[in-house]
Amino acid sequence: MTTLPTLDAPISAHIRQIGVIGAGQMGNGIAQVFAQRGYQVALLDVSDERLNQGVGAITKNLGRLEAKGKINATDKADTLARINTGTDYALLSGCDLVIEAASENETIKRAIFAQLCPVLKADAIIASNTSSLSITRLAASTDRPTRFVGMHFMNPVPVMQLVELIRGIATAEDTFAIIKELVARLGKISVSAEDFPAFIVNRILLPMINEAVYTLYEGVGSVESIDTALKLGANHPMGPLELADFIGLDTCLAVMHVLHEGLADSKYRPCPLLVKYVEAGWLGRKTGRGFYDYTGETPVPTR
């Protein structure tokens, strides 16, 4: 738990300090799994409030693992001690790899890279955890397109095995190879996807979620019947509306916009009800309301 895993002739051995930008559900999960594997982690967000929430989520998750006997109190304390937090980009100056996991908005991500590049070591790699945006375009907004890659973790990060890896047109082969090996060192499995809108997982998953929202919008079923149908009828661990709330409805809508605009096919049109929910600020679990209301002890369907 506390030492870096070894591989034969690891090409990623020099990657020891990891920066993570965005302390939301993905960023804090990514910070947790690297810190658990012995890496030093620098976690940056826009406010101390967001950072405290992120570290709070990590502490809770580690507490759950400790209660189950999967880690001990020392592992938990050591993991937390490896995570430094801050809002100043100087925090990331010593990092070998920085993973951007801020909100799914290209303008925000570009502004982040503009602040990051001047402080970052010349040979450091930048990865984006974007769910859908062009890796080539994001890379082109940095000073190092050859050392830029898509590194798409799945939610919840500590549990999900997959990391989708995406090369931009300029991504160097050694950059890709280092990141692929790093994923293996984390104990996760990678698949490689081409740089098309939403890559593989979300090209398939998000249209299904969008269709579930249309199914609700058109009155074919209630929230509960749609989710029960897919859980019991197709053996999905979560119903599509429950999953949408879990991902975040803002992220789901952003991905549908990228698919719709990027592939220019009306089959990707975001459901108007999904648009309305996001306009209302009903973003799912993270705001206490989405297709379910999370303010009570158990989630209550809203329709």
201 near ligand CAA (CB under 6 A): yes
Interface residues with ligand NDP (CB under 6 A) are 21-27, 45-46, 50, 101-104, 108, 111-112, 129-131, 152-155, 247-248, 251, 286
Interatomic CA distance for residues 19 and 96, integer angstroms = 8
Instruction: State the amino acid at position 53 in one-letter form.
Output: Q
Work out which of 18, 125, 247, 256 binds ligand CAA, going by CB under 6 A: 247
Distance CA 182, CA 165 (A): 11
Q: Which of 23, 62, 102, 154 binds ligand CAA (CB under 6 A)?
A: 154
In terms of CB distance, is 96 or 150 closer to ligand CAA? 150
Name which of 10 and 294 has its Cβ closer to ligand NDP. 294
**Distance between CA atoms of residues 195 and 100, nearest Å:** 17
Q: Is 128 in the site for ligand CAA (CB under 6 A)?
A: no
How many other C-beta atoms lie within 10 A of the C-beta of residue 253?
23
CB 157, min distance to ligand NDP, A: 8
Active-site residue, from 12, 61, 132, 202? 202
User: Cα dihedral sign for 20, 24, 28, 30?
Assistant: negative
Q: Is 207 in the site for ligand CAA (CB under 6 A)?
A: no
Nearer to ligand NDP by C-beta: 118 or 233? Answer: 118
Q: How many CA atoms lie within 13 A of 30 on its CB side?
A: 32
Q: Which residues contact 254 (CB under 8 A, 6 or more apart)?
A: 104, 105, 131, 132
Identify the residue whose tokens are 């591989």: 7
CA 258 – CA 132 distance, rounded (Å)? 7
Buried b (16+ CB within 10 A) or exposed e, 162-181: ebbbbbbeebbeebbebbbb
Q: Is 257 a catalytic residue?
A: no
Write out the two tokens for 121.
């070591």
In the set 118, 219, 237, 296, which binds ligand CAA (CB under 6 A)?
237
Q: Is 141 a catalytic residue?
A: no
Q: Which residues bind ligand CAA (CB under 6 A)?
A: 61, 64, 68, 131, 154-156, 158-160, 201-202, 205, 237-238, 243, 247, 251
Catalytic residue numbers, as ranges: 131, 152, 164, 202
Q: Indicate the annotated binding residues for NAD(+).
A: 22-27, 45, 104, 109, 131, 155, 286
